[in-house]
Amino acid sequence: MTKLWGGRFQKTPAQWVDEFNASISFDQKLVEEDIEGSLAHVAMLKETKILTEEEAGQIKKGLETLKQKALNGQLSFSVQYEDIHLNIEKLLIDEIGPVGGKLHTGRSRNDQVATDMHLYLRKQLQVIIEQIQSLQHALITRADENVETIIPGYTHLQRAQPISFAHHLLAYFWMLERDKERFQESLKRVNISPLGSAALAGTTFPIDRFYTAEKLGFDSIYPNSLDAVSDRDFIVEFLSNSSLLMVHLSRFCEELILWCSQEFQFIEMDDAYSTGSSIMPQKKNPDMAELIRGKSGRVFGNLVSLLTVLKGLPLAYNKDLQEDKEGMFDTVETIQGCLEIMTGMVKTFVVKKENMEKSVQQDFSNATELADYLAKKGLPFRKAHEVVGKLVYQCIERGIYLNDLSFEDYKLAHHLFDKDVYEVINPYTAVNKRNSEGGTGFSAVQKQLQLAKSKVTN
Ligand code: ARG
């Protein structure tokens, strides 16, 4: 089979060289974008009179037929034609005859592939942004139901202070809000047209880059043709934003996994997001959450691998750049899958309020309340800390908690203690008193919830 670029060659490559060189096995994902880009290009070739109306009309019709066939899954591609661009060109020529060979006038695969990638990522980013928003909605709903549900807050994974469960969930809402902003903001750099930069240096044909940019919905064009064909920053940025998103999802999953363990029993994962064991009949494993946590690895890997591909490349296009695709496709699929599963898990886990509340009755996470109590009565905080620390030690020795101490024990520890001390160490009171801006007090959380709601459009 002759190559579309075979003119200057005497021999054809061995089959395995063709296979090594080809990207069609994965870049066929770009088929719609490739045809869309070609339709804009041919419209411009007509507009600028580089092609006649008739030629352009035939090409347009041929491309539309291919588009329809692509949608119906009727196109078959060949490794012989290397990539999606040459495969489409070959199929076009088969469809409409030699005039199809005029489509490539004034462009190169180098600007073509870059254009396809920009179009593809723009489309996927819109899906991702919507998906993040759905997850945020789910978090808001669960937070709304749990403003007054108390759980232990941790530092160093040691019980620290009691908090509202809604407050904990909303922490993830804000991480996702930043992720969403980053993806939205990146659209600015994705939505730029490289088309018309040709191989690297522009073209001698009187093309109109603004025309194709507008037709394809790009906001602007790359001002430098060398940069246009070799820039993959927008993909690095996408992989980096995706990595950070995965950090957030993975941390959240880690907590869900802990919370549904026998040791915590704070939530029960819905059956739909759990699996059983082939040997241990009692098991209900949070596999989906574990997979999301695990899949963060491949997304980080994709980021590092593209950075590595790019770092030593001279301008302009180099074939190394073909290695930009699989990591990007894989990341798109991975984060879209993870976001969907995550949203389902958040919507359906059962909150075991009694267990959460029981756990804060049986710990020392109210110790700060006591120290603050004494400090408010004028004792220097450092001294108050010491008094309460000794009380905690005494409790541990006796196998009891702070609310089991008698009033005499308190008086003995410090004369500033009064009867109201028992109310102060009630975890519910403790949470509700932290109404500083952004704090876990119920009214502060309500205020935060309103702010969160204002960030997500319906
Ligand atoms: N398949 C190539 C890629 O994905 C398309 C561009 C090839 N250009 C070239 N001059 N070999 O990067």
Question: Distance between CA atoms of 269 and 257, rounded to whole angstroms?
Answer: 9
Q: Based on the domain organization, do 39 and 131 belong to the same domain? A: no
Q: Atom 11 (ligand 1): residue with closest C-alpha?
A: 319
Give a yes or no: residue 229 inside a domain.
Answer: yes
Q: Is 156 a catalytic residue?
A: yes
Catalytic residue among 25, 220, 277, 443: 277
* Ligand 1 centroid to residue 111 C-alpha, Å: 9
Ligand 1 contact via 23 beta carbon (within 6 Å) = yes
- Domain end point (choices 105, 136, 162): 105
Q: Based on the domain organization, do 194 and 336 belong to the same domain? A: yes
Q: In the predicted model, what is the mean pLDDT of residues 353-368?
A: 92
Q: Which two tokens stand for residue 130?
A: 């919507």
Strand, coil or helix: 362 = coil
Q: Based on the domain organization, do 139 and 95 belong to the same domain? A: no
Give a yes or no: residue 26 inside a domain.
Answer: yes
* Ligand 1 centroid to residue 53 C-alpha, Å: 29
Mean pLDDT, the chain, integer = 96
Ligand 1 contact via 321 beta carbon (within 6 Å) = yes
pLDDT per residue as tens digits for the range 285-319: 999 999 999 999 999 999 999 999 999 999 999 99
The answer to whether the bond into 40 is cis (omega within 30° of 0) is no
The separation between CA 215 and the C-alpha centre of its own chain, rounded to angstroms, equals: 29
Ligand 1 contact via 113 beta carbon (within 6 Å) = yes
pLDDT per residue as tens digits for the range 125-162: 999 999 999 999 999 999 999 999 999 999 999 999 99
pLDDT per residue as tens digits for the range 259-282: 999 999 999 999 999 888 888 888
Q: Based on the domain organization, do 150 and 292 belong to the same domain? A: yes
Which CATH number fits the domain that encloses residue 414? 1.10.40.30
Domain count for the chain: 3
**Letter for the amino acid at 314?**
P
Q: Atom 3 (ligand 1): residue with closest C-alpha?
A: 322
pLDDT per residue as tens digits for the range 152-190: 999 999 999 999 999 999 999 999 999 999 999 999 999
Q: How would you classify the pairing of strands 192-193 and 220-221?
A: parallel
* Ligand 1 centroid to residue 319 C-alpha, Å: 6
Q: Based on the domain organization, do 151 and 289 belong to the same domain? A: yes
Host H or E run for residue 154: strand 150-155
Give a yes or no: residue 359 inside a domain.
Answer: no
Residue with tokens 């990207």: 23
Q: Based on the domain organization, do 402 and 340 belong to the same domain? A: no
Give a yes or no: residue 458 inside a domain.
Answer: no
Q: Based on the domain organization, do 174 and 311 belong to the same domain? A: yes
Give a yes or no: residue 358 inside a domain.
Answer: no
Q: Based on the domain organization, do 78 and 140 belong to the same domain? A: no
Q: 386 exposed, middle or buried (CB, 10 Å; 0-12, 13-18, 19+)?
A: middle
Residue 81 near residue 24, CB atoms below 8 Å: yes
Residue 206 near residue 48, CB atoms below 8 Å: yes
Question: Distance between CA atoms of 102 and 174, rounded to whole angstroms?
Answer: 52
Question: Distance between CA atoms of 440 and 368, rounded to whole angstroms?
Answer: 15
Domain range enclosing 202: 110-353
Q: Based on the domain organization, do 235 and 336 belong to the same domain? A: yes
* Ligand 1 centroid to residue 89 C-alpha, Å: 14
Ligand 1 contact via 112 beta carbon (within 6 Å) = no
Q: Is 134 a catalytic residue?
A: no
Q: Based on the domain organization, do 45 and 73 belong to the same domain? A: yes
Give a yes or no: residue 443 inside a domain.
Answer: no
Q: Based on the domain organization, do 282 and 245 belong to the same domain? A: yes
Q: Based on the domain organization, do 118 and 253 belong to the same domain? A: yes
- Domain end point (choices 300, 326, 353): 353
Ligand 1 contact via 109 beta carbon (within 6 Å) = yes
Give a yes or no: residue 453 inside a domain.
Answer: no
Residues in contact with 26: Cβ distance below 8 Å, sequence separation at least 6, in sequence order: 325, 326, 329
Q: Which two tokens stand for residue 418?
A: 């009064």
Pocket test for ligand 1, best of 31, 104, 319 (most atoms within 8 A of CB): 319
Which CATH number fits the domain that encloses residue 75? 1.10.275.10
Strand, coil or helix: 151 = strand
Strand, coil or helix: 365 = coil
Which CATH number fits the domain that encloses residue 221? 1.20.200.10
* Ligand 1 centroid to residue 22 C-alpha, Å: 9
Give a yes or no: residue 204 inside a domain.
Answer: yes
